[in-house]
Amino acid sequence: MTDMASLMEDRAAAKVISDNLRKPVDWDSPKIARNIKKRYAAERRFKMYGLVAIGIALLALCMLATSIGSKGYSAFYQTYVQLEVHFDPAVIDPDGTGDPAVIGRANFDGLIKQSLRDRFPDVTSRSDKRDLYGIVSGGASYDLRERVLENPSLIGQTRTIWLISGDDFDMLNKGYIDPTVAEGDRRLNDQEVSWYNELVEAGAVEKQFHTRFFTSGDSREPELAGIWGAAVGSFYTLLVTLALSFPIGVLAAVYLEEFAPKNRFTQIVEVNINNLAAVPSIVFGLLGLEVYLNVMHLPRSAPVVGGLTLALMTLPTIIIASRAAIKAVPPSIRQAALGLGASPVQTVTHHVLPLAMPGILTGTIIGMAQALGETAPLLMIGMVAFIVDIPGGALDPATVLPVQIYLWADSPERAFVEKTSAAIMVLLAFLVLMNGLAVYLRKKFERKW
């Protein structure tokens, strides 16, 4: 018995050692006390690092939020200028036809220019006049036209009307242009500033809630640009994404969890799903460009193509979440159903899927939220075009909220900074809503088996 022998040997060795015992540690010695102190200091320091790390992360979040919020809140208001407008029949409807088509073609811009000239009669030179016309936005004439078409009796009257101001005046009024800096360093010259001051003194400048920001499409003029077009584009894109990725994702998850035999095919699918989840989004954009645009010749800039591309991207998220939800349904439920003679498909559709649905929906919403914030792949498939019209369907050219943000962020006008920030706030609001819904679903249907 070698084991026994070695045991005896060990024993002998241990005996020897115990004879020359180490003297016990004096735990009250100053050296140990110092050491303990040091160790506790290290402990506190380490804990501090953790706290500082979280602090930095949260600080970054706060800075992000304040930076966006402080830049963007002012976009929800717009400067308006009060002018006396004479609805000159000679300009609007010289023949007195009352025909809306004639009125619609009238030169309302000229009316506004006229009232500006009347308001500031000293302005004579051509370039000064051009500056003067900048007080009012080019979009104000559309508003006037609407007004007259709605109420033709205005023709011939003179009314005091609030008109949407140009972006530079808006910036000045919101304090983004500092009138005290040297004249050459600001967008407005001294004369324009003096006009502004005169209007303010007369009480003819006012900030109003900027509904147009929520109802109109993109525009080159910051004060006319809105997010509705992008929001609708996002809606169609997500609709396509959802319509494709949800059924496909759930069916794939069901197959992989409930039916798939453990074979090569299944293995390859699983590896692929895991890897697809980590492929950079821009690569999906390249795929979309090549397959949907170059091979299938689907329309450029269309929500369909965006949706098709994003569907491939969100598919792994949905499959992974759905599989987790299906896995969480206890086997006893399946056994009960199978025991009653239900077929596997019936077991799944009648019992497993309904029980897993909250989890699946949560995963789907999170996937949709990701898709809503995604930008890069959509740039690849041409959703960066400048599109004024509100898309009417999934085949119309469109842009989406994040791409709109990207486009505005790239615009040189100072006024687009606040628009960008405001659009970001809107996008984040949607994301908060979606994630909140996901959290609510999870909380509500949380089940401990």
How many angstroms separate the CA atoms of 309 and 383, rounded?
12
Q: Binders of other proteins among 264-283, rule CB under 8 A?
A: 266, 268-269, 272-276, 278-283
Does residue number 260 form part of the binding site for other proteins (CB under 8 A)?
Answer: yes
DSSP string, 249-270: HHHHHHIIIII--SSHHHHHHH
> Hey, what long-range contacts does 385-391 have (CB within 8 A, 24 or more apart)?
385/300, 385/301, 386/218, 386/220, 387/217, 387/218, 387/229, 387/233, 387/301, 388/217, 388/218, 388/219, 388/229, 389/217, 389/229, 390/217, 390/228, 390/229, 390/232, 391/229, 391/232, 391/233, 391/236, 391/303
Region binding other proteins by CB under 8 A among candidate stretches 46-54, 87-95, 162-170, 194-202: 46-54
> What phi, psi does 413 have (nearest 5°)?
-60, 135
Shortest approach of other proteins to residue 100 CB, angstroms? 25
Shortest approach of other proteins to residue 374 CB, angstroms? 7
Q: Binders of other proteins among 290-329, rule CB under 8 A?
A: 290-291, 295-298, 304, 312, 315-316, 319
CA 325 to mean position of chain CA atoms: 27
Does residue number 342 form part of the binding site for other proteins (CB under 8 A)?
Answer: no
Does residue number 395 form part of the binding site for other proteins (CB under 8 A)?
Answer: yes
Interface residue with other proteins among 215, 344, 440, 447 (CB under 8 A) is: 344
- Whether residue 72 contacts residue 418, with contact meaning beta carbons closer than 8 Å, is answered with yes
Shortest approach of other proteins to residue 398 CB, angstroms? 15
Does residue number 336 form part of the binding site for other proteins (CB under 8 A)?
Answer: no
Does residue number 256 form part of the binding site for other proteins (CB under 8 A)?
Answer: yes
Does residue number 103 form part of the binding site for other proteins (CB under 8 A)?
Answer: no
Does residue number 343 form part of the binding site for other proteins (CB under 8 A)?
Answer: yes
Shortest approach of other proteins to residue 303 CB, angstroms? 12
Does residue number 39 form part of the binding site for other proteins (CB under 8 A)?
Answer: yes
Number of residues near other proteins (by CB under 8 A)? 112
| Tokens (6 digits) for 102 | 């004639």
Interface residue with other proteins among 75, 83, 172, 252 (CB under 8 A) is: 252
- Whether residue 369 contacts residue 362, with contact meaning beta carbons closer than 8 Å, is answered with no
Q: Binders of other proteins among 53-72, rule CB under 8 A?
A: 53-54, 56-58, 60-61, 63-64, 67-68, 71
Residue nearer to other proteins on the CB measure, 273 or 398: 273
Interface residue with other proteins among 163, 224, 421, 422 (CB under 8 A) is: 421
Shortest approach of other proteins to residue 409 CB, angstroms? 5
Interface residue with other proteins among 409, 411, 413, 442 (CB under 8 A) is: 409
Interface residue with other proteins among 165, 402, 415, 419 (CB under 8 A) is: 402
Q: Which residues pair with 208 in a beta bridge?
A: 78
Residue 19, class by beta-carbon neighbours within 10 Å (0-12 exposed, 13-18 middle, 19+ buried)? exposed
Does residue number 47 form part of the binding site for other proteins (CB under 8 A)?
Answer: yes
Q: Binders of other proteins among 428-447, rule CB under 8 A?
A: 428, 431, 435
Residue nearer to other proteins on the CB measure, 167 or 374: 374
Residue nearer to other proteins on the CB measure, 22 or 262: 22
How many angstroms separate the CA atoms of 424 and 73, rounded?
11
Residue nearer to other proteins on the CB measure, 338 or 395: 395
Does residue number 354 form part of the binding site for other proteins (CB under 8 A)?
Answer: no
Does residue number 284 form part of the binding site for other proteins (CB under 8 A)?
Answer: yes
Cα separations (Å) of 429 from 80, 90, 147, 213, 432? 27, 49, 33, 15, 5
What single-letter DSSP state applies at residue 75?
A: G
Q: Which residue type sits at 376?
A: A
CA angle in degrees (0–180, nearest 5) for 211-213-218:
145
Does residue number 405 form part of the binding site for other proteins (CB under 8 A)?
Answer: yes
C-alpha distance across the termini of the chain, in Å? 53
Shortest approach of other proteins to residue 139 CB, angstroms? 24
Residues 6+ apart with CB under 8 A from 166: 134, 135, 136, 137, 138, 221, 223
Does residue number 9 form part of the binding site for other proteins (CB under 8 A)?
Answer: yes
* Number of residues that make up the chain: 449
Interface residue with other proteins among 80, 195, 213, 406 (CB under 8 A) is: 406
Cα separations (Å) of 37 from 25, 31, 34, 41? 17, 10, 5, 6
Q: Binders of other proteins among 375-394, rule CB under 8 A?
A: 375-376, 379-380, 384, 393-394
Residue nearer to other proteins on the CB measure, 18 or 125: 18
Does residue number 52 form part of the binding site for other proteins (CB under 8 A)?
Answer: yes
Residue nearer to other proteins on the CB measure, 17 or 90: 17
Q: Binders of other proteins among 355-374, rule CB under 8 A?
A: 369, 372-374
Buried b (16+ CB within 10 A) or exposed e, 96-113: eeeeeeebeebebbebbb
H or E element that contains 205: strand 205-209
**Phi-psi sector, 418: left (phi>0), alpha (psi -120 to 50), beta:** alpha
